[in-house]
Amino acid sequence: MTTLSTFLYRRPTLYVALLLIPPLLWFGTVYLGSLFTLLAQSIYSIDEFTAKIVYEPTLATYKQVVTQRANVDIILRTLSMAIAVTIACAAIALPIANYMVRYASPRTRALFYVGVMLPMWMSYLVKVYAWRLILAKQGILSWLLDTVGLGAALDAVLRIPGIGGPSLSSSYLGMFIVFVYMWLPFMILPLAAALEKVPESLLQASADLGARPA
């Protein structure tokens, strides 16, 4: 046993290799392997009659992606939704993260961390169904807005082309709301971690040199 540990201690490269080979094999085959298989399949086409793969290299699939109207629409829609959600998340998360790191007492900070992380432990589907109930045509939100007399305003918003729809849950606006909710923790936590590393004296130095809060 001692000889083995001495042997390994003197050969750090071998030691690291022995430790890393099993996980690397797993990662390489299961993860990267399947990705490369998918990539390889993209240059073949599927026979529409037999649904079998025709092993003849072709770029037809790629051509379809950029020429078919539906595909382009999906790409653009996904991209704009992603951009809008990212901007909204950043706008909401930055003040929260800053408050957590700079102003909250240790107790409040712990509460905030739990509050931010707790929804991440819930299943994605559970959260989505919960939101469907909140946003549905006869759901909590529209009931609430009707009660305070803002039902007409909601209808007006839903009539806006592009973001509206028959109900909140089926509109882009609804999707946007749910996506912001889903991804907010992934914006707050890294921002809080980054802000924590900024020394207090840097903020003081900027104030000292004339930088104002607004």
Partner 1 sequence: MTAAAIEFRDVSRVYGEVRAVDRVSLTVQAGEFFAMLGPSGSGKTTCLRLIAGFETPDSGSMLLDGRDVTDEPPYARAVNTVFQDYALFPHMSVLENVAYGPRVRGQRKEAWRKRALEMLELVQLGAYAERRPAQLSGGQRQRVSLARALINQPPVLLLDEPLGALDLKLREEMQIELKNLQRRLGITFVFVTHDQGEALSMADRVAVFNHGRIEQLDTPRVLYTRPTTAFVARFVGSANVVTGELARRLSGRAEPFAVRAENIRLRAPAAAANGDTMSCLGDVADVQYHGALSRWQVRLESGEVFAAAVPDTGTNGDFRIGARVRLEWARGDAVPLAATEPS
Point out which residues bind partner 1 (CB under 8 A). Answer: 199, 201-202, 204-212
Q: Please state the φ and ψ torsions of residue 133, each to the nearest 5 degrees.
A: -65, -40
- Closer residue to partner 1, CB minimum distance, 125 or 211: 211
In the bound complex, what is the minimum distance in angstroms from residue 211's beta carbon to partner 1? 4
- Radius of gyration of the chain from Cα atoms? 26
- Closer residue to partner 1, CB minimum distance, 30 or 194: 194
In the bound complex, what is the minimum distance in angstroms from residue 206's beta carbon to partner 1? 7
Is the Cβ–Cβ distance between 153 and 160 less than 8 Å?
no
In the bound complex, what is the minimum distance in angstroms from residue 212's beta carbon to partner 1? 5
- Closer residue to partner 1, CB minimum distance, 70 or 209: 209
Using alpha carbons, list the distances in angstroms from residue 67 to 33, 70, 76, 148.
29, 9, 13, 48
Pairwise CA distance, residues 180 & 96, whole Å = 14
> Distance from CA of residue 87 to its chain's centroid?
12
In the bound complex, what is the minimum distance in angstroms from residue 192's beta carbon to partner 1? 19
- Closer residue to partner 1, CB minimum distance, 125 or 202: 202
